[in-house]
Amino acid sequence: MRANICIQGVNIIHAHHFWQRLIGLMGRRTLPTDQGLWLSPCSSVHTGFMRFAIDVVFLDKAGTIVSIVPGLRPWRAAIARRAHSCLELSSGNAERLGLEPGQQLIK
């Protein structure tokens, strides 16, 4: 059974292969507010070679939010110790969507 992240109005792309995770959002000019990138497995991210800030939502193996890093600017990094995957959203989208630690995102 394949897991899915369920967020109303956001199209989530699942990057679960090595090359998909490696490339991530690099090279893009923006990330639309109705899109997100789910990296799994993943417990840390970087924004090297990116042109815009992102919100990073770290999830544990059960799909529960363990940490949110809002507005991670280019050339920075973030890590969450208990994370198994992460969701990258456009900056400000985590707050706009009402995401908070403890919420279950994977169904």
The series of mean pLDDT values per 10 residues for the chain, 107 residues long, is: 70 81 77 91 92 96 96 97 95 96 88
Angle among Cα 2, 6, 11 to the nearest 5 degrees reads 95
Question: In whole angstroms, what is the distance from residue 90 CA to residue 62 CA?
Answer: 23
Q: Is 83 exposed, middle or buried (0-12, 13-18, 19+ CB in 10 A)?
A: buried
Whether residue 102 is contained in a domain is answered as no
- Quote the pTM value: 0.89
Whether residue 2 is contained in a domain is answered as no
Whether residue 52 is contained in a domain is answered as yes
Q: Which domain holds residue 66?
A: 11-96
Whether residue 1 is contained in a domain is answered as no
The pLDDT assigned to 30 comes to: 87
Provide the token pair at 56: 């990073």
Q: Please count the structural domains in the chain.
A: 1
- The enclosing domain of 87 has a CATH number of 2.60.120.1140
